[in-house]
Every structure is written in C-alpha cells, then in structure tokens.
Chains A and B, each alone.
Chain A
Amino acid sequence: MNKALVIGTSFGGLEALKTIIPALPADFKLPILVVLHIGDNNNDSFVQYLNSTSQLCIKEAEEKDEIKKGYVYFAPPNYHMMVENDETISFSADPKVHHSRPSIDVLFESAAWTYKNRLVGVILTGLNQDGAYGLKAIKDYGGTTLVENPENAVASIMPKAALTKCDVDFVLELNEISNKLIELSAQD
C-alpha cells in the first residue's frame, strides 16, 4: 500500500498543479509533498488560491510537521525540504542543487529513504533537470514513478530528463494524472 506522494515541477508547474490537486478527493489517502521552483518569491498567494479550489488542505510546510494525509505540503522558498524517517518534515539551507533550492532531487531521495517502495513520485513540466535523479532513487527503492508527457508539457526539459534517467512506470497527459493518482492511492 502506498504511503505518500511527492511531486516536482518548475516552469509551468503552478498551472499543472491547478489541474491536478483540485481534482483529488477530500479522502485522498496519501499525504502530498511538493517542490515547485519559484525563486525568491513566496508561496502565499498560490497556497491561498489552491486552498480555495481544493478539497485537500494546502499549506507551506513547517519544520517538524508530521506528514499527514489530507494535506499538501509545499516546500518554502530557499530551503530544501526533506522527509525524516519518523515521517516528519525537515529543512536545510544546503547549497543549491541544479541551481535550485528547494530541490526536487533532495525531497525525492529523502522520501524514498523513508517510504521505500510505498512512495509515488511525479515529475511535471519544467525547465531544468532537477528531479531526474530523485525519481530514479524512488524507482530503485521499488516505488512508483509518473512523468507528464513531455510532448505536451509547457516545458519539456524536466520530464524528458526524468525519462532519460529513469525507467518510468507511467507517462501520462496532464489531465490523466489525477485519476491515475487516485487509482494508485487506493491500491493495497
């Protein structure tokens, strides 16, 4: 049974998330952790927006938060977000990875350490290679990997890099992703 879902995206990511997250039901079984590259900007306005359109509770993650279902945790700008093995959130101000802080690789890899094969990882539209290594780590632990079809993504570099690095389980159109996630969350 899957225990958590991690999503990574950059350019075009906010629009993509607006398609996926509001389509998930209130009783969606997996907690969701998201890295969206937004530079030095803050998360406040889109957290607010997503909250107003979603059935899940969207928040900017806080240090030591317990990771719980029903919640979507966004990494704060300028900190890497990691999963601790007691299923809490921690941050670090380590150097940037792929010019990015938060980095998708850092989140995905640490989540894979904790959730092992009970993790679902998703890479969406984006303009750099962050996330490819992390998705591979999820796969290596036996987790499930999904990538948005680069042909139709707003920016293809990130999903393409993920497909090159990792033998991905599902390549899907943006509007197919939420249904697949619901299916994966219900599996035993």
Chain B
Amino acid sequence: MEQNKSLVIDNIDIEIPLFLEAVFQKYSYDFRDYSKAHVKRRLLHRMSVGHFTSISQMQEKVLRDKAFFIDLLEDLSINVTEMFRDPDFYKSFRENVVPTLKTYPFIKIWHAGCSTGEEVYSLAILLKEEGLLDRCQVYATDFNRKVLEIAKHGIYKTQELDKFQRNYIKSGGKEKLSDYYTLKYGSIKFDQALSKQVVFADHNLVTDHVFAEVNLILCRNVLIYFNRELQNKVINLFHESLVHSGHLCLGSKESLRFTQHEHSFVDIDSKQKIFKKKIG
C-alpha cells in the first residue's frame, strides 16, 4: 500500500504538466508557470473531493466537461480576501501616496486580481474620505468571473464584520465603517456610490495585455502564486501600464526581487510594499 502511494506520487509529477498543458490548449487558461507546490496541492484536493484515482483520469474529465473546468478554476484561483487586509498598508497609503494623488486632476487606478472586491471597496472608502473618489476611474479585474459578479454587487456576509471593523479602525479610517453599508438579511451591502466609478472586468494577467495607462496599480497576493518567470512577465506588464511616477502596491510578502524591473522603481514604503515608477 505504502509503496503504491509513492508510485502514484511519482507519476503525479509527470501527469500535472500534461494536465496543465491540456487545460491551456482547451480553455486558454495558463497555469503552467504557477507555483508547482500550490498547483499540486489544489489538484490533489480536487482529485480527492471528486474521487478520482489519478490526474490523468481527471484530465479526461476536464477535456470533456466545461462545468468541471469552472470548478477547477475555483480551486486554482484562491479568492481569500478581506476588507482593509493589512491595515498598516492602508495607513501608509494615506500618508505616502494620497498626497501625490491629490496633485492629479484625474486618477486612473487598476486593481489586478481584485477577487470578490473587498479591496476595491476598502480603497474606495479611503479615497472618499480623502476627497478623491470623484476624480477616480477604477478598473477592477480578475480572471475568475464568479468573483467579479460578487464584487459588482458588493454584498458580503456579516460573519467577518467584526474583523473588517477592526481593520478599518487600524487603517486610520475617519468615520464609521457602518456609514458605508446597509445591513439586510444577515448581509451587508456597500453603498453603490462607492463603485460608481468602478468597471469590473475579466482580465487574465498571464495571457492578456495592457489595456490602459494608469496612475496606480494594486496587485496584492496574486504574484505569490507565480514562478519567477511569470512574476517577471507580470511586473513588465505593470511597468508598461504605469505612467511615470505611478505607484505600484504589492502584497506584504511580495517584492520586485529577481525581476528585470527591480531597479525601475523607488521604494516608497519597503515594508508595506509600495513602489513608485522611476522617471525615464
């Protein structure tokens, strides 16, 4: 039995690249340069939930069953997020980025990998409190349409509300979080005035291109899932999309290390991972 297991595992490292190739050929979603350990964990999870005996068997299924592919996309796109995630980041953003934004007549913002939208509403609240929201055009993108739908509606369970509230206060919020949502049937719904300037759109960072020139990009907790080559490619995409002196905000455990553009940005806050594109 034990021996059997190590056999299956060895095969798995052969089967996974084949599986990802099949998914790419069939559906144009490219996971080939995602972190291998991450992909393996998620696929093993799906294999066990779906009672498959091997990745090859699952490949059969994914090639013929689009609905199954959609489930798989869920598995591979980790949508874990929260309002004012890393409150210290938002605090630093208020102190270090907002003053520059205030000098712009018009501000274009791109949330790349926005998931279910909590990050978008968090920033919108901050911008509103700083009197900037009306001047903003926001693009909020993700490659998972299901989460974009949720983001559009801005309706969330109250389960985590306490945490959201604590985060908001820690982030330097000026009002009460409850000023921005209404409570209904055990859910909260954010004021649609917050998302009036937001366009939610399907965009895949691996396969799609630059779509606008922007002043600010937030891409938090997405790059951790990519290998070095893919990280480099996506940072290039961001560099190309940003105006001179535009800001780039990454997740608290992400960096520009090992990318071509490591030196094309200045650190604004190295701990909170806020960078500014160098001129020229």
Contact = CB atoms under 8 A, between A and B. Distances in A.
17 contacts: A62-B255, A63-B253, A64-B258, A79-B224, A82-B38, A84-B36, A90-B35, A90-B37, A90-B38, A92-B41, A93-B251, A94-B41, A109-B41, A110-B37, A113-B40, A141-B6, A142-B6
B110 interface: no
Q: Most chain-A CB neighbours within 10 Å: which of B5, B78, B224?
A: B224
A170 to B, nearest CB: 19
The SS class assigned to the B binding surface is helix
B90 interface: no
A84 B251 CA distance: 20
Contacts of B251: 93
Nearest to A141: B6
A95 interface: yes
Q: Most chain-B CB neighbours within 10 Å: which of A76, A85, A93, A95?
A: A93
B2 interface: yes
Contact of A82 (B35, B253, B254): B35
A140 B253 contact: no
Nearest to B257: A64
A177 B37 CA distance: 29
Interface of B: 2, 5-6, 9, 13, 35-38, 40-41, 78, 80, 221, 224-225, 228, 251, 253-255, 257-258
A62 B256 CA distance: 12
A140 B38 contact: no
Interface in A148-173: none
Contacts of B224: 63, 79, 90-93
Contacts of A64: 228, 257-258
Question: Size range of the interface on A?
Answer: 20 to 34
A54 to B, nearest CB: 24
Interface string A103-124: 0001001100110000000000
Nearest to A142: B6
Nearest to A82: B37
Contacts of A76: 253
A130 B38 CA distance: 19
A106 B37 CA distance: 10
A67 interface: no
A84 B37 contact: yes
A83 interface: yes
A83 B38 CA distance: 10
B41 A110 contact: yes
Nearest to A117: B6
B37 A63 contact: no
Contacts of B228: 64
B254 A113 contact: no
A51 B268 CA distance: 28
Given A64-B228, A113-B40, A140-B2, A92 B253 contact: no
A94 B253 contact: no
Given A90-B35, A95-B78, A140-B5, 9 more contacts: A62-B255, A83-B37, A85-B13, A90-B37, A93-B78, A93-B251, A110-B37, A141-B9, A142-B6
